[in-house]
Amino acid sequence: MLGSFSLVLLLWYIFPVIVFLASDYIVNTFKLKQKFNIKVPDISVPFLIVGMHEISKYISTFSILPYFLLTIFFLGIGIVAFQAYRFREIMYGRFFKMFWRSTFLMSILLYFILIIVSFIRLIFQ
C-alpha cells in the first residue's frame, strides 16, 4: 500500500517548519526586522524553492522549478502592471516588497500542494 517512503522524504516534509524556525531565529538574533525590515518570509523563500525542486523530482521525473520561475516572472510583470495602473507610478521599494511577499505566498502554497500530491502518490502506489 505505501510506496517507497524514506527518511529523506520525511525531511523534505518537515523542511518548511525547520526553515521557519531557523529564519525566525536569524531575524530575532540579528534584529533584522528593526534594522532592515526583513521578516521570516523574506528569508525563507529561497529555501522553499529548493524544497519544491526536491519534492517535485521525487514525485515525477522532472522538476517543477522552471515552471515556478516562469510563473514568478509573470507575477512580477503583473505586479508592475497593477502598480502602474493603480498608483500611476512604479515605486521600486513597494514593487520588490509586494513581489517578494507574493512569491512567498505562492511558494508556500505550491510546497504544500506538492506534499499533498506526494502523500497521494505514496498511498496509491
Alpha helices in 37-91, H assignment, sequence order: 40-59, 65-87
Calculate the alpha carbon distances from 20 to 26, 104, 119 in Å: 10, 12, 22
Residue 68 has pLDDT above 80, yes or no: yes
- The per-residue pLDDT for 3 is 55
Q: Which residue has the higher pLDDT, 18 or 59?
A: 18
Tell me the Ramachandran region of residue 60: left when phi exceeds 0, alpha when psi lies from -120 to 50, beta otherwise: beta
Whole-model pTM: value is 0.88
Return all residues near 81 (Cβ < 8 A) that are at least 6 apart. Answer: none
The predicted pLDDT at position 5 comes to: 67
Check if the beta carbon of residue 90 is closer than 8 Å to that of residue 75: no
Q: Give the C-alpha separation, 64 to 68, whole Å.
A: 6
Return mean pLDDT, the chain.
91
Cα four-point dihedral sign 20, 21, 22, 24: positive
User: To 10 degrees, the CA torsion angle through 108, 58, 119, 75?
Assistant: 30
Backbone CA torsion sign across 105, 106, 108, 113: positive
- pLDDT band for position 95 (cuts 50, 70, 90): very high
